[in-house]
Amino acid sequence: MLGSKSKGDLKSWMKTLFIALGLSMVIRTFLFSPYIVDGASMEPTLHNQEKIFVNKVHPTDNFNRGDIVIIKGPNENYVKRIIGMPGDKIKMKDDQLFINGVLFKETYLSQNLKLAKQQGSKLTEDFGPIVVPVNHYFVMGDNRLYSKDSRNGLGFIKEARVVGTSEFVLYPFSNVRNIK
């Protein structure tokens, strides 16, 4: 038979456990969440099966060009880089990105550009100019030869579909790093 002290301890532990579970659910649902990268569309920045930390409290009016974001799809989520902001005029010509008529350097593509040139192809096919609608973004993967993105299937991304920004790689532990 449990004594009154044991019953009190059990109630205290149950209350603590309930609060901890509730807090973890709120944090994961509304603030931060892990996400597993599925596929090679963001290589070499992110690799297949890496687990990344997603900040869900990023206000939608504070997204920046170059942010790596998680996009909610009908059947799956996508991880992509924001290239075009609402109202931007985007054009790609000879693997050079022009935003509002100004050349935009994509330094994160240097490795993939080198590989594409070795294969005798372009990394990104020419397109545009296109204008990003209000309350939408234009996104692309860093591995442009193997990316389903705004150019070929995802279209312009509504602000409401952006889950959050990726902050850093959590796993594998040997690859823990900030993401830019």
Residue 147 belongs to a domain: yes
Catalytic (active site) residue 150: no
Which residue has better confidence, 92 or 14? 92
Number of domains in the chain: 1
Q: The tokens 């504070």 sit on which residue?
A: 62
Residue 105 belongs to a domain: yes
What is the per-residue pLDDT across 96-107, written as a single tens digit (0 to 9) for each? 999 999 999 999
- Rounded to a whole number, what is the distance in angstroms from the first to the last CA of the chain? 59
Residue 5 belongs to a domain: no
Catalytic (active site) residue 147: no
Domain interval for residue 73: 34-178
Query: For residue 2, what are the CA distances in angstroms to 11, 13, 16, 167?
Result: 12, 15, 20, 48
Catalytic residue among 33, 41, 158, 180: 41
pLDDT value of residue 59: 56
CATH number of the domain to which 124 belongs = 2.10.109.10
Catalytic residue among 80, 147, 150, 166: 80
Q: What percent of the chain has pLDDT over 70?
A: 84
- pTM tops 0.95, yes or no: no
